[in-house]
A and B are shown apart, each in its own frame.
Chain A
Amino acid sequence: MTDLSPAPRRAYIEVEDLSVQFPTEDGLVRAVDGVTFSIDKGQTIAIVGESGSGKSVTAQAIMGLVNARTADVTGHVWVDGQDIVGMTDDELRKMRGSTMAMIFQDPMSSLHPFYRIGAQLTEAVNVHNKVSKKEARDRAIEMLQKVGIPSPEKRIEDYPHQFSGGMRQRVMIAMALINSPSLLIADEPTTALDVTVQAQIMELILELQQEYNTAVVLITHDLGIVADAADQVAVMYGARVVESGVIDDIFYKPEMPYTLGLLASVPRLNQVRADRLDPIPGNPPSPIRLPSGCVFNPRCVYKDRVEGDLCATERPALLPTDLGHMVRCHMSKEDREAVATIALGTLGRETA
């Protein structure tokens, strides 16, 4: 096993056993439960999952945006050697916007409607740098130019409502990258946009990532975007990472039944496999009542391959199955590979 474990080297971003719990009247909501992954500068990790799987809360915890008064955050988020968890508000404020920045899903509600975008962009510069008004403004115009806003010296005087959805998302990206952060978190950055605009925005993010050598955490539910943009993938289900690895491992050699189900059930643009899709039965779990044992066991069609009721009683660990490829499943490796062939065989895809 030792040869499979990752080298004892610190990646630029290292999320270690991160858990976020919200005590509510209905019970404890485990939004994130022991999430671990790491990512280097210039790399993109995609966190994929359905609504309620905990991917957005993971992103917020990395940014230190989870309110410590209402939530219980444990574990570590190492950004360049500094632990975000346990930082004071002041320390966090220094990190946010300069070392790390975030792009949100809805560009309309993330920009202040009453302020000109110029004011909002220069504020981001002024908070972290001692610069003159002129310099801040020049920097804002330069950034707008870079994200492809035509005649930025004029548009800088405009209000958010004067921009289209795609243009607003460009402004958001300009604001996020104005202090050249080394970590960018993009939480469903294109979900609110049309596909032709989505393609533009994704290309812009990847282009700027190369220019600034940024580490990108991309939160999405769209496997197409993952295939397009990610180097690494962490699949989340029921607040846990159930499978992680490099992109080719996840798409061509998946071993966790949930990943298999996801890949087999999503309709594809480039092929119609059969007239019926092969869906995952049942519904995603509630974060208040996560199933015991493996969170996926009530929907898993392969659980009879595991002896006894291990799947329903004991929580499987996230273990390496191959170099850099981690799987959370009780099945033996032979069984996991066998069910992958069964599940993806209907896809007509090579699994080897």
Chain B
Amino acid sequence: MGKLFAIIGAIAYYLFYPFLLIMILLGPIMEFPVLLEIYELETPRAGLTLSVLCIVGILLFLSYKYPRLGWLYRKFPVMIPLLQMFFITLTGIELGIFFANLWADKFLYSKGVAIFLSIVSLIIVRSYLSYWYSKYPISYKVHKV
């Protein structure tokens, strides 16, 4: 019975998996212009939203945790660090969009503060990735000097 549930779960997961991949791989490329557009046109724009990002993050984590859901990673091992990088970058961009929208739509603070918060969120995720991959390099061939 447990196995049946696991198989049904895996089938349900794989039906959604292509959308998950599209969202994560194209997300940063598609969302960054949205962030720029908010500041250029001074109008709020809906991004992927943080709640969608939560679901994407949890589903991605499940595919890392259960080998049954990660056949693609066995075929293309590079996907493991790649998707993590893209997801964390997308998180930063979405956070930037969230702060930008609080200014553009609700005027909770000035434009300067909004730009500052957006840049800070991008810098935080970028430095986190730099720190992380300098500590745990993707390849053993990479040696720190």
Chain A bound to chain B: no
